[in-house]
Structure 1
Amino acid sequence: MSTNQHVLIVEDEPDLATLYATWLEDRATVETAYSGTEALDAINGTVDIVLLDRRMPGLSGDTVLETIRERQLDCRVAMVTAVEPDFDIIGMGFDDYLVKPVSKSELLGTIDQLELRSTYDQQLQEFFALASKKALLDAEKTDAERKSSQEYAKLEDRLAVLRANVDDTMTALLEKNVYRRLCQDISREPITSE
């Protein structure tokens, strides 16, 4: 991860916010907010990545996320929460979802992936976000639950469309000889330190 990233940690448990900040301090400019209201005051055009607790007293992480997207701020958002995922996540505008407890390597890996995603166009960002949601639901829900969900069916349809669009984009990149560098970036494992 480059050192010029600005990460906002939104966590109502100060000890946990401090721990995350400590893990990231050598790799990014880190700011913390301990409530949804503080988060909205702190989020501006300089924030690249938001680590957002979903369940907080007062203004919830869900509301903070909606406001970030309504403001059309160009930042990646990872929900870092104890709330187990359900089908309601499909309509949410986050880029990744981590269920607490979160290890240092998990958090750093997520930050690395969010930074990588932000370098690609909006089409790829949407594809990665939806693929992450599908993978999460595939791991957490039974086959019968997924088959009975209209939201999940819409998610699969949208992924199919995006996959075709991404293939077209890859073809265009291949013609411009950028494809090889793109594939190398995607396949590269992030280097993290414990």
Structure 2
Amino acid sequence: MTDDPVVLVVEDEPDLADLYSSWLADHCTVRTAYDGPEALDAIDADVNAVLLDRLMPGLSGDRVLDAIRDRDLDCRVAMVTAVEPDFDIIGMGFDDYLVKPVSPDDLIDTVDQLLLRSTYDAQIQEFFALASKRALLESQKPEAELRASEEYARLEDRLAVLRERVDDTVAQLSGSDDYEQACRDITQEEPT
């Protein structure tokens, strides 16, 4: 048994799924599913991150994502898709979104970020997921369209609330002796 993180690649184009898997093979344990039902069979509590195509025949990536969240699985999910993002992404339960084509570096960096986020508490995870959605929309939509969107305004409001909570949590932690000791422990070098 390995301690490597487990990443599930869900892609209905087998050549592309296998390519993504080969890019990740040196970084983690990779499982591959070629459609939605296969993805639902392959995912379990051992999976740390999922790379999920949105447009698949039969069971779409959106529905697979809903099923993952309904099962309460503690994994991070990135949509890797040819679907350009629109405001509908705000309510979706993914953590990151890549528009195809993707490079090996982008894919590996995204997996690294997903695995890092899995160590955060739920509040921080939600903050980063929403911040990713905001950044994605800002890169794809004109400023006027963003300002006119009620969904985007709600996203901005939710991010402001979360930022305040995160700042409060950090302020509370930074005043704690345990927090200061943990920071000192982290910054100390390992004995050689």
> TM-score under structure 2 normalisation?
0.90
Match of 2:115 in 1: 115
Deviation at 1:115, TM superposition (A): 0.9
| Per-residue Cα deviation, 1:104-161 (whole angstroms, up to 9, x for no partner) | 0000100111111111111000000000000111111111111111111100000000
Amino acid at match of 1:91: G
- Residue correspondence of structure 1 range 17-166 to structure 2 within 5 A: 17-166=17-166
| Per-residue Cα deviation, 1:83-110 (whole angstroms, up to 9, x for no partner) | 0000000000000000000000000100
Identity %: 67
Query: Secondary structure at the residue paired with 2:129?
Result: helix
> TM-score under structure 1 normalisation?
0.89
Query: Secondary structure at the residue paired with 1:32?
Result: strand
Partners of 1:3 and 1:28 within 8 A in 2: no
Q: Partners in 1 of 2:40 and 2:185 — Cα distance? A: 37
Size of the aligned set, in residue pairs, is: 182
Partners of 1:130 and 1:159 within 8 A in 2: yes
Partners of 1:173 and 1:179 within 8 A in 2: no
Q: Partners in 1 of 2:97 and 2:3 — Cα distance? A: 23
Pick the structure with greater CA Rg: 2
Alignment RMSD, CA only? 1.7
- Matching of residue 15 in structure 1 with residue 15 in structure 2: yes
Q: Partners in 2 of 1:129 and 1:145 — Cα distance? A: 21
